[in-house]
Amino acid sequence: ATVPLELTLVVAATARDMGIGANGGLPWTGLRKEMAYFARVTKRGDGNAVIMGRKTWDSIPPKFRPLRGRLNVVISRSFAPGLPKDPADGPDASPVEASSLEMALEYLRRAKVDSAAESANSRGGRVFVIGGAQIYGAALRLVEARRVLLTRVVSDFSCDTFFPLALGTTSVAADKTADAPTWVQRSRAEHAAWIGEEVPDGVQTEGETQYEFQMWERVD
């Protein structure tokens, strides 16, 4: 039996135009508390996985990758087709290499049902999609994409990469197209209950930068 797998996208994006990146990296520097939130939320619980594109993998400082305590799955069209192989040295040593998001999910579905102790996702961990734009776009086309943990960066930054869905301006976001899913912003209490920690209220300030933690869910 296949376990339905639910995807949560985690992203920090500018309020003005959903900018997420510039020149191969994040648009900002020094959002240490924001990054700590990302790390805590994606680690909490057992057996979580983070799925990312190859460019996002390259953007993570080598000393931080693979992201510790999470099964890292990296997607590149140049990886071997078919079901990804288990990483050679356990989940913290090397990432799982998948040729598409679909193959990454197929791998994680099997990891859920197999009893291999090494499988970082075998105890029902959460699956997070952590970017970048191409992988967010692929994820948003799937029914499995249920939730977005959005850090809405109020301060403006010049960006060359954008999150492919407008969220965070009003409490309901609907694509203009027929059949497109509707996204609603959940309350701070619902957000806290889902991530398992208190959510700081209102606009946060780190250095010169202002941002707000939000949770959005797709309603169908």
Q: Does 67 bind ligand FOL (CB under 6 A)?
A: yes
CA 54 from centre of chain: 14
* Residue 12 binds to ligand FOL (criterion: CB under 6 A): yes
Q: Does 11 bind ligand FOL (CB under 6 A)?
A: yes
Total interface residues for ligand FOL by CB under 6 A: 19
CA angle 49, 161, 78 (to 5 degrees): 55
Phi and psi at residue 120, to the nearest 5°: -65, -15
Question: Per-residue string for binding with ligand FOL, 151-170, x by CB under 6 A?
Answer: x-------------------
Q: Is 35 in the site for ligand FOL (CB under 6 A)?
A: yes
Q: Residue 53's beta-bridge partner residues?
A: 75
Q: Does 60 bind ligand FOL (CB under 6 A)?
A: yes
In this complex, which beta carbon is closest to ligand FOL, that of residue 10 or of residue 120?
10
Instruction: Check: CB of residue 55 under 8 Å from CB of residue 131.
Output: no
| Shortest separation between residue 109's beta carbon and ligand FOL, angstroms | 23
Which one, of 164, 121, 162, lies nearest residue 139 by Cα? 164
Q: Which of 61, 62, 170, 177 binds ligand FOL (CB under 6 A)?
A: 61
Give the one residue of 7, 19, 38, 119 binding ligand FOL; rule: CB under 6 A: 38
Among 10, 71, 135, 159, binds ligand FOL (CB under 6 A): 10
196 near ligand FOL, judged by CB under 6 A: no
**Cis bond upstream, residue 91 (ω within 30):** no
Does 24 bind ligand FOL (CB under 6 A)? Our answer is no
Query: First vs last Cα of the chain: how many Å apart?
Result: 24
Number of other CB atoms surrounding residue 29 within 10 Å:
9
Helices then strands, counting H and E runs in the chain, come out as 5, 12
Nearer to ligand FOL, 12 or 18 (CB): 12
Euclidean distance between CA atoms 151 and 11, whole angstroms? 6
130 lies in the binding site for ligand FOL (CB under 6 A):
yes
Instruction: List the one residue from 66, 87, 91, 131 that touches ligand FOL (CB under 6 A).
Output: 131
Verify binding: residue 39, ligand FOL, rule CB under 6 A.
yes
Picking from 38, 31, 45, 30, the residue whose alpha carbon sits closest to that of residue 9 is 38
Angle at 60 between CA 57 and CA 66, to 5 degrees: 70
Shortest reach from residue 201's CB to ligand FOL, in Å = 17
Interface residue list for ligand FOL (CB under 6 A): 10-12, 26, 34-36, 38-39, 56, 59-61, 64, 67-68, 130-131, 151
